[in-house]
């Protein structure tokens, strides 16, 4: 291991395992790419964005002018960032990034190039340029995620639903794929709150949110629409498949062992499904799903209905 210590950053660099010949790098003018060139380029480019992927893309490009780089891998668990640029390989240098007590994730540069003293100095300078913009980008990402998330259940909120539906309907139209929305409303939720208190109601909403996430694919999305009502966005899902998913969730909620103190309380939900019709406004799609939901309510609750 070759430790690098900068002003506020400690980075551990693991030695690469392969031994290719060193590739001299050049500046745009054709002369050797020197440390001052690197710092100037990174300082300018890393001020251009607060998006983590763009910052690391700039970093990847500039480091590629110093050495042979096959790919770059970055992970930051707290903000659920996992990014691969280029191609991953077994020969890699690992960087654990932190600053002033803030963990900024793990950065891997995939390269078999030997770490010379000159290259170590250049990489240290590159990381010194990256670390503050990266921290700012992660803070920005956290703020954006918080603004799009329901604090009680951890699901997306109404704003996130609107943004996701806008994106998903465009993808469905462009690729001629199905897209379905399921609206879910807890049955007799006011009674649960009145009899057992709002803490029990909040716990039920969190439990239902977790259950839905477990029942869905990774590409599907759950949003709290308001109160005890949720919206599920199911990409590439037909009307028939959406009804099957909704019925599976309904049955799972009915069988959920939900305890209030030592007493088990039965939960149930009604669900309405609607499938996107090419060109229809988002409000219309949601209204059709909501109308199907209220049809399920009027028909006796604890069931699934589908829009025409």
For residue 270, give both structure tokens: 């009604």
Paired strand residues for 230: 184, 224
As to burial, measured by CB atoms within 10 angstroms (0-12 exposed, 13-18 middle, 19+ buried), residue 49 is middle
Candidates 62, 113, 168, 228; catalytic one: 228
* Interatomic CA distance for residues 35 and 123, integer angstroms: 9
Q: How many CB atoms lie within 10 A of CB 169?
A: 20
* Interatomic CA distance for residues 143 and 290, integer angstroms: 30
Torsion angle defined by CA atoms of residues 149, 203, 271 and 265, in that order, rounded to the nearest 10 degrees: 180
228 is catalytic: yes
Q: Which residues are marked as active site?
A: 228
């Amino acid at each position: 291991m070759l430790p690098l210590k900068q002003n506020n950053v400690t980075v551990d660099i693991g030695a690469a395992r392969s031994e290719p010949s060193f590739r001299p790098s050049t500046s745009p003018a054709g002369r050797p790419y020197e440390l001052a060139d690197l710092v100037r380029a990174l300082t300018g480019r890393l001020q251009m964005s607060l998006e983590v992927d763009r910052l690391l893309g700039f970093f990847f490009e500039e480091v590629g002018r110093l050495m042979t780089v096959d790919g770059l891998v970055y992970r930051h668990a707290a903000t659920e960032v996992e990014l691969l640029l280029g191609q991953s390989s077994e020969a890699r240098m690992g960087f654990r990034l932190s600053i002033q007590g803030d963990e900024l994730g793990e950065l891997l540069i995939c390269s078999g190039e030997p770490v010379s003293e000159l290259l170590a100095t250049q990489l240290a300078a590159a990381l010194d340029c990256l670390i503050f913009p990266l921290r700012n980008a992660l803070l920005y990402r956290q703020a954006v995620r918080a603004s799009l998330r329901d604090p009680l259940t951890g699901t997306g909120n109404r704003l996130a639903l609107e943004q996701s539906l806008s994106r998903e309907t465009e993808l469905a139209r462009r690729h001629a794929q199905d897209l379905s929305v399921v609206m879910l409303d807890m049955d007799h939720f006011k009674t649960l709150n009145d009899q057992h208190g709002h803490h029990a109601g909040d716990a039920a909403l969190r439990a239902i949110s977790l259950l839905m996430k477990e029942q869905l694919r990774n590409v599907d999305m759950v949003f709290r629409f308001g109160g005890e009502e949720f919206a599920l966005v199911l990409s590439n899902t037909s009307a028939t498949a959406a009804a099957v998913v909704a019925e599976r969730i309904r049955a799972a909620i009915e069988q959920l062992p939900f305890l209030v103190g030592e007493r088990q309380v039965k939960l149930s939900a009604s669900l309405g499904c609607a499938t996107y019709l090419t060109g229809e406004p988002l409000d219309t799609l949601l209204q059709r799903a909501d109308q199907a939901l209220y049809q399920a309510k009027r028909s006796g609750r604890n069931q699934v209905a589908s829009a025409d």
